[in-house]
Amino acid sequence: MSIDQVRGGRERFAESVVEVIGAKLNSDAPNDQSYLRISVADADAATAGREFSSAVVATALGSFPGLYLTTPPGSATEFMIGWPTLIDASHLRARVRVDDRDVDVSVPTRTQPVAADEARTALAGNDLPGTELTTVRIGTYVGARSGDKGGNANLGLWVRDERDMPLLEYLTDPDRLTTLLPELAPHEIRVYALPNLLAFNVVIVGLLGNGVAASLREDPQAKSLGERFRAVRARVPSTLVPQLISTEA
C-alpha cells in the first residue's frame, strides 16, 4: 500500500511523508516491530482529515490480509509554523531576578565586528594515503545531545579527551555526515567548531520542516538524532584512534 493509491495521490496534499519504521523485510523480528507510517499536511482540514484517513482504511482493507491499522479514521489536527528570526535589541528589555530583586540589563551601546571563522580543512580519507582504516562505534568516543530550533535540527557533539578532537573533526565533515546519516543528505549542513569545549555543533537546515508543531517526522524535535549518530559504526583512519590500537595490540 502507498499514498499514491489514495485518490489524488501525493499531489493532493501540501506535504506528505511515508516511512517504514522498525524491522527490515528480511528480518526475523516480530511483525509488531515494523510498521508503515503515512503523514499528510494541508491547509484544508477536510483533505488532510477524515477523508484521507478513511481512504487509507479502505485501501488497507483491499491490501494483503496481514495488514492492520494502529489508529481508526479521525479528523485532522491544527499545526503551527515557526521560523527563526532576529529582533533588534532596542525592542527588548532584559531583566534578571536576583535575590527577589529585578535587575535591568542595559543594551550595549557599542558593538564590534567578529572575524569569521577560518574555513575548515576536511580530513577526508583520500587525504591520508596509505593509512589503514578501522571500524569504531562512534558512541565509544563521542557524546551527543540533539534538539530543535524552528525547522532546523541541532546536533551537539563532544569528546572527553583533546586527543580525540581530530577524530571528531573527521566525523563532522559535512560530506561524511551525509554518509553516516543518509537522511541528512538533502539538507544544508553547517558545522561550528567549539575547541574550548572539545566540541562541534552541527546544524541541519530544514530537517524538521516548518518546525516542531508542523513536522511530519516520527521524532519532530530531533531528540533521538544524537543517539542515532552515536550508534553508527564508522570506518576511520587508524591514526585517529591510537588508544584503540594500543588496547588491541
Alpha helices, H only, 181-241: 225-230
Instruction: State yes or no: pLDDT of 44 exceeds 70.
Output: yes
Mean pLDDT of 47-60: 79
Query: Could you state, in order of their start, the residue ranges of all structural domains in the chain?
Result: 3-62, 133-244
Closest Cα to residue 52, out of 201, 204, 216, 205? 216
Residues 68-75: contacts with CB within 8 Å, 24+ apart? 70/35, 74/49, 74/50, 75/45, 75/49, 75/50
How confident is the model over 166-196, as pLDDT tens digits? 999 999 999 999 999 998 999 999 999 999 9
- Read off the pLDDT of residues 144-163 as tens digits, 9 standing for 90 and up: 999 988 888 999 999 999 99
Q: What is residue 149's predicted lDDT score, i.e. its pLDDT?
A: 83
| pLDDT surpassing 80 at residue 80 | no
Residue-wise pLDDT tens digits, 219-249: 778 899 999 999 999 999 988 886 655 444 3
Question: Model's pTM, two decimal places?
Answer: 0.68
pLDDT at 2: 53
Q: Which DSSP symbol is given to 197?
A: G
More confident residue, 234 or 80: 234
